[in-house]
Chains A and B, each alone.
Chain A
Amino acid sequence: DAGITQSPRHKVTETGTPVTLRCHQTENHRYMYWYRQDPGHGLRLIHYSYGVKDTDKGEVSDGYSVSRSKTEDFLLTLESATSSQTSVYFCAIRDDRDPTGELFFGEGSRLTVL
């Protein structure tokens, strides 16, 4: 168990509403990531963080923002959800001491935007 908790695990919302997904880790690692998983696309990186208040964009960051005010929490926000953001969202962490870059994934959050 990598010590990652995602919440909520399932959410249905309507177009135009804000949504925040939370990723909580108990490992005290610097690096945290948000990916989305869609059929035919694998996993695509949305945003990542390399420390408190240090974040950067991934390959599909449009329409998403993130915040990291504490080491253990990495929040992903959809300011105004659209149907194209219906997806499964995975949070991941990286062990700072591991040079290989292996990521450990959470259980996922399934978001449906109607």
Chain B
Amino acid sequence: AQSVSQHNHHVILSEAASLELGCNYSYGGTVNLFWYVQYPGQHLQLLLKYFSGDPLVKGIKGFEAEFIKSKFSFNLRKPSVQWSDTAEYFCAVTRSSNTGKLIFGQGTTLQVKP
């Protein structure tokens, strides 16, 4: 079965530190990849997505992610985090051919200390 694995469950950083959150998926076919963010008490919002083309994807709020097909990875990065980035981050994958069913990773809680 298709699965998504996020390696870091809880990350604590100081403001201005760099961030990298790992995401690996198990499906070997063509996939679309997503990072969603959930701020405290809110619903999920899209940070960025990979569909095709340039494997380095830029999203909102200075986030970016790189799709490395050979490693089945889609890691999220931000060069300098802010206190307002405190949230839970979810990686998700869907097969390009299916009915849009997103498979989510377990989530990573990011806490940024001011």
What is the interface of chain A, defined by CB distance below 8 A to chain B? 31, 33, 35, 40-45, 48, 50, 56, 58, 90, 92, 94, 99-103, 105-108
Within 8 A of A (CB), among B60-114: 90, 92, 94, 96, 99-107
What is the interface of chain B, defined by CB distance below 8 A to chain A? 4, 6, 9, 32, 34, 36, 42-46, 49, 51, 90, 92, 94, 96, 99-107
A106 touches B43 (CB 8 A): yes
Q: Show 14 A/B contacts (Cβ-Cβ < 8 Å), sorted by A.
A: A40-B9, A40-B107, A42-B104, A42-B107, A43-B44, A43-B90, A56-B99, A101-B94, A101-B100, A102-B46, A103-B100, A105-B44, A106-B43, A107-B42
User: How far in angstroms is the closest Cβ of chain B from A81?
Assistant: 23
Q: Which residues of A contact B36 (CB under 8 A)?
A: 105
A-B Cβ contacts below 8 A, count: 59
Instruction: For B102, give its contact among A40, A41, A45, A99 (CB under 8 Å).
Output: A45
Q: Which residues of A contact B102 (CB under 8 A)?
A: 33, 43, 45, 92, 101, 103
Q: Which residues of A contact B44 (CB under 8 A)?
A: 43, 90, 105
Q: Which residues of B contact A56 (CB under 8 A)?
A: 99
Binding site of A, secondary structure by majority: helix, strand, loop or mixed? strand
Q: Which residues of B contact A101 (CB under 8 A)?
A: 32, 94, 96, 100, 102
A94 touches B100 (CB 8 A): yes
User: How far in angstroms is the closest Cβ of chain B from A75?
Assistant: 19
Instruction: For A105, give its contact among B43, B94, B106, B107 (CB under 8 Å).
Output: B43
Complex CA distance for A48 and B103, rounded to whole angstroms? 13
With A50-B99, A58-B101, A90-B43 as contacts: A100 and B106 at CB distance below 8 Å: no
B43 touches A107 (CB 8 A): yes
What are the 6 tightest A-B residue pairs by CB atom distance, in nearest-first order? A42-B104, A101-B94, A43-B104, A101-B100, A100-B51, A105-B44
